[in-house]
Amino acid sequence: MKKRKLGNLEVSAIGLGCMGMSFGYGPAKEKQEMISLLRKAVELGVTFFDTAEMYGPFTNEELVGEALASFREQVVIATKFGFKISPKGEQIGLDSRPEHIKEVTDASLKRLRTDVIDLFYQHRVDPDVPIEDVAGAVKDLIREGKVRHFGLSEPGVQTIRRAHAVQPVTAVQNEYSLWWRKPEEEVLPALEELGIGFVPFSPLGRGFLTGKVDENTTFDSSDLRSTLPRFTPDARKANQALVDLLSEIAKRKKATPGQIALAWLLAQKPWIVPIPGTTKLKRLEENIGAAAIELTADDLREIESAASKIKVQGARYPEHLEQLAGR
């Protein structure tokens, strides 16, 4: 697998988002199966794994820690802080107070079976804690040797600049794909200027861009897509045009729609590293295969021209969740 740089952190061109193994997309998957899948990913050249204390909560970090313990020197593990989690394991707000960040660090290190977190993201910007205090807390952790790199998830541009001035930010993680292109407006130009890498999450539109989800697909009540405006049957029907476009290009390239969606992201900037999630070996192999697909300037122009005529229907999140993003 080709390598890419997020700031000065080298990782595989495609990473693996681990959330769905434990959380978010229906019931948690069988643990041993997921351990095997994570280890297979390493064999196939993936060196970049994304988790968070919030996924589960806690169980996803434990899974990743157990699966990757024997490969620890070969892999880069990213995890996140910033939520307040109740004793029952429910998210009850945001908490990026420096003392809380330090507590989370020690707990995450234990679950991940490691003595250092390679990339530590603030999961969502906390409006009650100045970002300078957050960056300062992570700077201390880097000085102590518990963390290597600092990241931000779903920040606005001013937050990125203020944080970066205190502790250089290695990577920003936002949703980005052919059906959510907002980062192009302000975030990507700022990252290019500052030399910060970009990690798109949901690069396959939460599965929609693979062509395996249509208006008739039903979702388990524990699948977050059952609550998203963009995943109502009407929105899925309207948004099928985007999948049809990817399918057309995929036929020509002897690829799948999902591979074209990932190849398109990789073609945007050399410092973009998508982290598609999966719980299936076949999909893992398919996603990794996208790194070998070359889209020509003509292919990219064709995608751009066709995509510009398609208006994606449905909000990305319900309003109360959207307010957490882009601060």
Which pLDDT tens digit goes with each residue over 44-53? 999 999 999 9
| pLDDT at 287 (0 to 100) | 98
- Domain membership of residue 149 as a residue range: 3-322
Residue 326 has pLDDT above 80, yes or no: no
What's the average model confidence in pLDDT over 122-143?
98
Asked if the structure places residue 166 within a domain, the reply is yes
Residue 324 has pLDDT above 80, yes or no: no
| pLDDT at 128 (0 to 100) | 97
Provide, rounded to the nearest whole percent, the portion of the chain with pLDDT above 90.
Answer: 96
Residue 140 has pLDDT above 90, yes or no: yes
Can you tell me the distance from the alpha carbon of 234 to that of 228, in angstroms, rounded to the nearest whole number? 12
Which pLDDT tens digit goes with each residue over 13-42? 999 999 999 999 999 999 999 999 999 999
Confidence band (pLDDT; 50, 70, 90) for 323?
confident
Asked if the structure places residue 327 within a domain, the reply is no
* Tally of residues, the chain: 327
| pLDDT at 327 (0 to 100) | 84
Which pLDDT tens digit goes with each residue over 224-257? 999 999 999 999 999 999 999 999 999 999 999 9
pTM: 0.97
Confidence band (pLDDT; 50, 70, 90) for 188?
very high
Which pLDDT tens digit goes with each residue over 145-166? 999 999 999 999 999 999 999 9
Which pLDDT tens digit goes with each residue over 283-305? 999 999 999 999 999 999 999 99
Assess whether 121 carries a catalytic annotation. no
Confidence band (pLDDT; 50, 70, 90) for 58?
very high
CATH code, domain with 83: 3.20.20.100
Asked if the structure places residue 138 within a domain, the reply is yes
Asked if the structure places residue 257 within a domain, the reply is yes
Q: How many domains does the chain have?
A: 1
| pLDDT at 319 (0 to 100) | 87
SS3 letters across the chain = CCEEEECCEEEECCCEECHHHCCCECCCCCHHHHHHHHHHHHHCCCCEEECCCCCCCCHHHHHHHHHHHHHHHHCEEEEEECEEECCCCCEEEECCCHHHHHHHHHHHHHHHCCCCEEEEEECCCCCCCCHHHHHHHHHHHHHHCCEEEEEEECCCHHHHHHHHHHCCEEEEEEECECCECHHHCCHHHHHHHHCCEEEEECCCCCCHHHCCCCCCCCCCCCEHHHHCHHHCHHHHHHHHHHHHHHHHHHHHHCCCHHHHHHHHHHHHCCCECCCCECCCHHHHHHHHHHHHCCCCHHHHHHHHHHHCCCCCCCCCCCHHHHCCCCC
Q: Given 55, 121, 176, 317, which residue is catalytic?
A: 55
| pLDDT at 107 (0 to 100) | 98
Which pLDDT tens digit goes with each residue over 72-104? 999 999 999 999 999 989 999 999 999 999 999
Can you tell me the distance from the alpha carbon of 250 to that of 212, in angstroms, rounded to the nearest whole number? 14
